Copies of this chain bind each other. A is one copy, B any other.
């Protein structure tokens, strides 16, 4: 029995969020109503603003408030001639948080998947081709996911880049740093052996 239809709608609507099922949506809804009415109104405004106004940077296709994001406008980063190619905007965030890369990014928003009808145009490869043609990129680092689709996409991009004499590398796959070997799956271990480095 629904005592408040608005509350039921809220509980249902909250479930568009990943990881939020009926139980946690219910908990969230009651919590917001009881203790966070003002902050919830702010949240609603922020969601609205974000969904209407966050666009894709014209250069890297990452989420941006402006036509070109601050990272792409950064001359120091431009001068590196380095371009890191990733599948999703959250990959950019992950890599940037590692503080180990000072170049530019390019976001595919997916990977090649002929079965699903996802071809080169759908993942922005014509824009990438333009970048290659301009001659400002000296090296690309491919950081697609280490999955079959990610690898296929990587090799497609690698052959595009080679037409322009651009250096191509791919991020290393292997055992996670700080992990324990017996928790690592067989494929990863096999890869880490195949890709072993001189010591």
State the A residues within 8 Å of B (CB): 1-7, 9-10, 13-14, 16-20, 24, 26-34, 36-54, 57, 62-65, 69-71, 88-90, 92-93, 96, 109
Contacts and interface: CB of A to CB of B under 8 A. Distances in A.
Contacts of A36: 16
A13 to B, nearest CB: 4
Nearest to A74: B1
Q: Copy number of this protein in the oligomer?
A: 2
A124 to B, nearest CB: 14
Contacts of A51: 32-33, 37-38, 40-41, 44
B26 A64 contact: no
Given A33-B50, A41-B48, A41-B51, A64 B17 contact: no
A54 B6 contact: yes
B34 A43 contact: no
Sort A-B residue pairs by CB-CB distance and give the 10 closest, nearest first.
A44-B47, A44-B44, A44-B48, A13-B46, A10-B50, A30-B90, A13-B43, A16-B39, A37-B51, A17-B28
Contacts of A48: 41, 44
Among A3, A44, A71, find the residue whose CB has the most chain B CB atoms closer than 10 A: A3
Contact of A16 (B17, B40, B88): B40
Contacts of A39: 13, 16
A33 B54 contact: yes
A6 B20 CA distance: 22
